[in-house]
Amino acid sequence: MQLTFRRFDLRLRHTFTIARGSSDIDPVMLVELEHDGQVGLGEAAPSGRYGESIDTVGQFLGSLDLSRFHDPFALEDILAMVDAHRPGNPAAKAAVDLALHDWVGKRLGVPLYRLWGLNPEKTPVTSFTIGIDTPEVIRRKVEEAEPYPLLKIKLGSDHDREIMQAIRSVTKKTLRVDANEGWKTKEVALERVKWLEQEGVEFVEQPMPAADLAGTAWLRERSPLPLIADENCVRVNDIPLLRGVFDGINIKLMKCTGLREAMSMIRTAKACGLKVMMGCMIETSVAITAGAHLSPLLDYADLDGNVLTTNDPYRGVVIREGRLVLPDRPGIGVVLSA
């Protein structure tokens, strides 16, 4: 089987700022896996937080030789080889995982959710993310987000109160908060979490630095709101350590190496009594739709990365009254946007 890939620059509707930094253009790598006249689509959306860039994705995929595999149905063997090829590189690995799943679904003529036995009526409502900005821009973004019933707010800077004030001046919607490790001490985190409970927030994602698991456990004992692990939960082997420290986990295809690992994370988290959320990076409809096929298994979804862009080359999953609506075409089920 043959793998080809090309860079694509996604343009963002608004400059996107979180506690760690800012961007206007987000490059992704679009991947095609060809075998026996059938093409599977994949995508890598690298994040510097996990040691990747568009260049490292290109290097990883360019060094991968899949020519010894002659059957894309052998996902277990192929993906074990891809994972062992080099450490790290989770988004590059996810691109191969997605393309294989798409190929298999297309060859069998079934959408991924059917392959996994999932009910497409059970997809959740997705939140829509509002990045860090000036109060004026935030008010505008919240107004633009009118069709979305659930908002996820990025906090974790010294401007948390101004941001929350700006949001509450224009909406009463349920809010979820992501601090992206921005609250550096457990005392600050506790003060913010108590305040956010009063502001009608449903849960808080990654309040403290991933390195401070003890601080987070201290916080959870006192927190009136559930805590969800994102930066603390990269792959399946992180999950058992999070019991008693967090109430749930946020899975992302681009940090966990793809759909196969994501499925195993969902099962493991549930067995550990943790809630399951799926999030995303800035991605095209290829990766967002791939993740959405797993969404009937989720407690919370944050799959809006494609909606934050203006030049998505594909269309697949759509959002109707906030809810994810899956395509019923085979595989991931995306088509080129006209």
Residue 178 engages Mg ion in binding (rule: CB under 5 A) = yes
Q: Is residue 43 close enough to count as binding Mg ion by CB under 5 A?
A: no
Q: Considering only residues 204-223, where is the footprint of Mg ion by CB under 5 A?
A: 205
Question: Count of residues binding Mg ion (CB under 5 A)?
Answer: 3
Q: Does 312 bind Mg ion (CB under 5 A)?
A: no
Please identify, among the stretches 199-207, 212-220, 262-270, 303-311, the one whose residues bind Mg ion according to the rule CB under 5 A: 199-207
The verdict on 304 binding Mg ion (CB under 5 A) reads no
Nearer to Mg ion, 160 or 230 (CB): 230
Q: Which residue number, 156 or 331, has a Cβ lying nearer to Mg ion?
A: 156
Q: Which is nearer to Mg ion, 178 or 261 (by Cβ)?
A: 178
Task: Please identify, among the stretches 5-13, 69-77, 164-172, 198-206, the one whose residues bind Mg ion according to the rule CB under 5 A.
Answer: 198-206
230 part of the interface to Mg ion, by CB under 5 A: yes
Name beta bridge partners: 116: none
Task: Please say which residue, 49 or 139, places its beta carbon nearer to Mg ion.
Answer: 49
Query: Given the complex with Mg ion, which of 279 and 331 has the nearer CB atom?
Result: 279
Residue 181 binding Mg ion, by CB under 5 A: no
Residues that bind Mg ion (CB under 5 A): 178, 205, 230
